[in-house]
Structure 1
Amino acid sequence: MTEIDAPGAADSRRPAREHEFTVEQRSQTRLVLRRFARHRAAMASLVVFVLIVLWAFVGPHLWHYSYAKFTPDNSQAPSRKHPFGTDSSGYDAYAQVMRGTQTSLKVAILIALGSTAVGAVWGAVAGFYRGLVDAVMMRVADLVLTLPLFAIALVISSRSGGSWYWIAAVIAGLTWAYVARVVRSTVLSLREKEFVEAARALGASDTRIILRHLLPNALGPIIVNATVLVATGILTETALSFVGFGVQPPDTSLGLLVSQAQTAVDTRPWLFYIPGAFIIAIALTINFIGDGLRDAFDPRQQRVRQ
């Protein structure tokens, strides 16, 4: 009598030559991070920028000289005791560059955050409602774009008393329109997508659709423009401080340090070139990071199978 195999017996005796392939589902965030990690210049710039930020904000608590106190060493060249030298008054340039970098970064980051927040909401509302609302809001944005940024910032900053947060607020108030234009164009295409129609069908309010659906899906262009505004902010603050209408003593910034050292560029060049090198380094690293983010968020990148 022939023995009848159990239903699963054949499968259990099957040689283990067949492999089961599984495809890992990757979220959009992971895809963006992978693309950004492949951008070597952006990754190197991110490391450099993080080190500069840590040095500027943590370094003053570890360094034995204060940016606001004199030392008995006047006009000293860079040495082990004073790595960046000292000025004619005896201020330690290393401590002053740390403080200047910290102030310039605070101004630039506040400009980026303020401009991005206002511009993103403004552009999203204009793109979502279109029609008369869009026309009026975009004409206001166009008006802001036509204003000469440096001239207006110079006039207003001259009346602000040299406080870094007022300078940041003034520049942010003149740069948000750039973000608004970009976000509006993105929202105009997103508002016709299926997920927006589904949210409307489920009874979501306009505010919820804008804040919970449109803005998160426009995050790529928003982040890229925020990095550009960091570089714009630090260069604008540097220019204002250089002409004497930015940060004022006893506080300091990179632009103010360069301005104060321009008369000593031949006799004590370290006072001029070292702060200038930090300005260039920050602007370059931010631009490379922005390029990496732009490539990472580019929807034309090769699609990954899900």
Structure 2
Amino acid sequence: MTSTLPVTPPSVVRERTQSEMVLRRFRRHRAAVTSLILFLLVVLFAYVGPLLWTYTFTDITDDLSQPPSLTHPFGTDLIGHDTMAQVMRGTQQSLKIALAIALIGTVLGSLWGAIAGLYRGRWDFLMMRIVDVILTLPTIAVAAAVAAQGVGGSQWWSIAIILGALTWPYVSRVVRGVVLSLREQEFIEAARALGAGNARIILRHLLPNALGAITVTATLTIATGILGEAALSFLGVGVQAPDTSLGLLVSINRDAVNTRPWLFYFPGLFIILIALTINFIGDGLRDAFDPKQTRVRP
């Protein structure tokens, strides 16, 4: 008598989509996921917090130079401003400037790098030499010199344009390197055979396929923008009163670090927190876009 044994069905292997693989790898990066949560909390603190908090960043209270308490969790300054309200406003402005810097630098740098990588030859040589010249410039020193001339006044967008115009070469180098390998792929040859022009190849084929590298670089540019804005405001050529930013708060309270340390450390802590979380998110995205393990078991 023959016994029948249950037959184990063969394991099925299926192809996951690119977005599924990226999300799966990113979720495995614990530091990146934790940093993303912290960054979203900072954004909520900056943009939703002022709608719920009792004081605005311009309100003057009767509590002068008060240390952190239940009424004023971040304390108050010499005039009576609530420090938490000021940090909320400062975080708003710093994030807005950093995101604008990343947008300007990413768009300009991606297009520049894609054009140089696709055309090669003389165009590539000339465009990359321009990049080399800009990269040799001390970014903060040049930005401070331009901002000191009063270009755009103390408006946040003028600071974003100045810093964005100095950070795009970093993005262009990364994108050019990716495009140099992509331009030799068969799908580019196929697009040319079908009559696609260079502009269409760049916008419809090269840049979408370089999206992983562009996303990672753009993320890290946000951290650079936060630190750049803080440096300019600390030097007195960034955001000016009556508005405020994290860098400006650190600058005007640097002399109070020994007597009223809460005025200095709270905005400084937010600068460090934003920069660190963005860097960890960038690390997670870099690992997530790593083209390995394209086939996985469900």
Match of 1:190 among 182, 188, 193: 182
Task: Tell me the CA shift for residue 295 of structure 1.
Answer: 1.1
SS of corresponding position for 1:80? coil
User: What is the SS of the residue equivalent to 2:242?
Assistant: coil
Query: Does 1:78 pair with 2:68?
Result: yes
Cα root mean square deviation, aligned = 1.6
Contact 2:13–2:295 (CA under 8 A) maintained in structure 1: no
Please give the secondary structure, in 2, of the residue aligned with 1:267. coil
| Pairing 1:275–2:267 present | yes
Distance 1:272 1:54 in 2: 22
Change (3 A) 1:228 1:177: same
| CA distance in 2: counterparts of 1:180 and 1:263, whole angstroms | 40
Contact 2:112 2:172 survives alignment (8 Å): yes
Quote the residue 1:216 is aligned against.
208
**Deviations, residues 94-121 of structure 1 (Å, cap 9, x unaligned):** 1000000111111111101110000000
Residue 43 of structure 2 is matched in structure 1 by: 53
Unmatched 5+ residue regions in structure 1? 1-13
Q: Whole-Å Cα distance in 2 between the matches of residues 26 and 98 of structure 1?
A: 41
Q: Partner of 2:282 in structure 1? A: 290
Q: 2:111 aligns with which of 118, 121, 124?
A: 121
> Which residue of structure 2 lines up, in the alignment, with residue 108 of structure 1?
98
- Kindly indicate whether the alpha-carbon contact (under 8 Å) linking 2:154 and 2:239 is maintained by their aligned counterparts in 1: yes
2:240 paired residue number: 248
1:30-45 aligned at under 5 Å gives the runs 30-45=20-35
Q: Any idea what SS the aligned residue of 1:285 has?
A: helix
Q: Which amino acid aligns with 1:164?
A: W
Larger radius of gyration: 1
Stretches of structure 2 lacking an aligned partner (at least 5 in a row): none
Structure 2 SS opposite 1:64: coil
Alpha-carbon distance in 1 for matches of 2:209, 2:188:
11
Write out aligned runs for 1:138-177 (5 A): 138-158=128-148, 159-160=150-151, 161-177=153-169
SS of 2:14's partner is coil
Deviation at 1:243, TM superposition (A): 1.4
Q: One-letter code of the match for 1:43?
A: V
- For each residue in 1:60-85, what CA deviation from the matched residue of structure 2 results, as whole angstroms up to 9, or x when unmatched? 11111010121111111111111101
Partner-residue secondary structure (3-state), 2:253: helix
Equivalent residue pairs, number: 292
- Residue 302 (structure 1) aligned with residue 293 (structure 2): yes
Could you give the per-residue CA deviations for residues 19-68 of structure 1, whole angstroms, max 9, x where no partner exists? 36543321111111111110000000000001101110111111110101
- Kindly indicate whether structure 1 or structure 2 has the higher relative contact order, using CA contacts under 8 Å at least 6 residues apart: 2
In structure 2, the residue matched to 1:9 is: none
Paired AA for residue 90 in structure 2: G
Partner of 2:9: 19
Measured after TM superposition, the shift of residue 265 of structure 1 is 1.2
Q: TM-score, normalised by structure 2?
A: 0.94
Q: Distance in 1 between matches of 2:132 and 2:7?
A: 66
Q: Give, in angstroms, the shift of residue 15 of structure 1.
A: 9.6
Give the whole-Å Cα distance in 2 for the aligned partners of 1:259 and 1:149. 19
Q: Name the CA distance, whole Å, in 2 between partners of 1:152 and 1:253.
A: 20
> 1:143 aligns to what SS in structure 2?
helix
Report percent identity of matched pairs.
61
The secondary structure found in structure 2 opposite 1:69 is coil
